Amino acid sequence: MTVTPASGRGWLPTRALHRAAGVGGLALLAAAALGQWELVLLAGPFLLGPAVSLAVRPARQPEATLTLEASTSVEGGPVRARVSVPADPQPPLLCVVSAQVPRWVRLRYGVGYYATLVRPPVTTAVRLAGTALRWGSYRLGPATVRSVASDGLLVAHHEVLPSVPLTVYPVSEPFDSEEALPRASGISGIHRSRRLGPGGDLADVRPFQPGDRLRRINWRVTRRTGDLHVNATQSDRDAQVVLLLDVRHEAGASGGIHGRASVLDRTVRAAAAITEHYAQQGDRVALVEFGSRLRRLPAGTGRKHYLSALEWLVEVDRLPTGFGPGGGLLSRGLTAASALTIVLTPLLDQDSANLLAMLARTGRSLVAVDTLPGQAHPRVRNEWTAAGHRLWQLERTNTIGRLRGVGVPVEPWQGAGSLDVVLRHVYRLAATSRVLSR
């Protein structure tokens, strides 16, 4: 929760007070000059009314505070802010509040002026409730507070409350995978390893050796051969996953959580879903941003690492430039070759295809996830747009076909289960390569 105070700077007369004093003063002058003492009765309300109201004028301007109930939210989640005005032992005040709101935060009652009556002794709060529509780092505010007292005769200097930070996490799209990862080389986990050890997958039947557990004895083979034999199993270990986010280009118009998704929306939400799935099942997940800047999140696991990944994802550059670091610099920044590398890319240019080909030549277990939304179309349209877009789609289809031909599986992002077929294919390729290497 972030709080920013604002201090008062005194009161000023309003135009209503100037008008009342002016009309009352002119009426008195006219009565004295013309000898029409009836005009004194006309001046009475204009002078006595303000005098009564100003007799109970506030001693000082109240100090307001801008508060966020929670500095973090999630796409589609609530955003609650309030401007609190303490009620000192002084007359009631009317406070008018207006705040600048980010584009991707929609207030329930719209953007405008909010008014409330402040009565002692309770602190009054103007609540700004809304919904976060898109992931990212924002600032709510600044907010302007103006207080009116003495029946509208006094107004305070407008107080500007500094903005407060707001972080909106990407929503994790439904994702689940039942396939084992191709290369499990950690200490303990749920994936089948090529190493022998305690596990549930049968690897071989071998003669009994000192130290073998009795529950591992294979009684059928023992009775057939006459010698003790035991089952050798493959150990269950964790694996490492590297998510490479190709964010050099943006395509499609983002409509927030309730609208259409752009390339960056699909990329970030898919990364959040994949990270949540693998990190919570015990695998180590690392993230790399491939764009105008090269950022990395070291590998980690568990719920804490998933929250760190969300913090990392909201800082992804939402204004891509189309440029990125060289492939050599990127390859040096990647982790061990035994990790499964999942590249989230829209495949909008040849550089993306070259990146995948370069990673495939290093012998990594590689999966490419196509994040281009189906509704993405050129922004500029003319009589040649349809034909040009169709030719570009054909060229992109040929590029995907060539990538698959050199062993790079490319799968469109479809949420839950969308990578099972690809991971099964990658696992078989890894198993085949191990057999051939023997």
Q: Do the domains 3-9+58-169 and 240-437 sit in the same CATH topology, yes or no?
A: no
pLDDT of amino acid 187 = 39
Mention every residue, 6+ apart, whose C-beta is less than 8 A from residue 272.
169, 170, 171, 172, 173, 309, 310, 313
Low-confidence ranges of the chain (pLDDT < 70): 1-9, 89, 174-204, 233-238, 326-337, 415-438
Percentage of the chain exceeding pLDDT 90? 23
Mention every residue, 6+ apart, whose C-beta is less than 8 A from residue 76.
131, 132, 133, 171, 257, 258
**pTM of the full structure:** 0.75
How do strand 93-99 and strand 113-118 relate by DSSP bridges? Answer: antiparallel
How do strand 136-140 and strand 164-169 relate by DSSP bridges? Answer: antiparallel
pLDDT of amino acid 192 = 47
Instruction: Report which secondary-structure segment, H or E, holds 398.
Output: helix 385-405
Domain 240-437 CATH class label: alpha beta
Q: CATH number of 3-9+58-169: 2.60.40.10, 3.40.50.300, 1.10.10.410, 3.40.720.10?
A: 2.60.40.10
pLDDT of amino acid 336 = 64
pLDDT of amino acid 207 = 83
Task: Delimit the domains of the chain by residue range.
Answer: 3-9+58-169, 191-237, 240-437
Q: What are phi and psi of 346, to 5 degrees?
A: -85, -10
Helices 15-34, 38-55: inter-axial angle, 10-degree rounding: 150
Quick one: three-class SS letters along 8-75? CCCEEECHHHHHHHHHHHHHHHHHHHHCCCHHHHHHHHHHHHHHHHHHCCCCCCCCEEEEECCCEEEC
Q: What is the residue-averaged pLDDT of the chain? A: 80
DSSP secondary structure, 298-363, as one string? EEE-HHHHHHHHHHHHTTS-SS--S----HHHHHHHS--TTSEEEEEE---SHHHHHHHHHHHHTT
Mention every residue, 6+ apart, whose C-beta is less than 8 A from residue 271.
170, 243, 245, 287, 309, 313, 344
pLDDT of amino acid 140 = 94
Mention every residue, 6+ apart, whose C-beta is less than 8 A from residue 239.
181, 182, 183, 184, 185, 186, 189, 191, 283, 284, 339, 340
pLDDT in tens, 338-378: 778 889 999 988 888 888 888 888 877 888 999 998 877 77
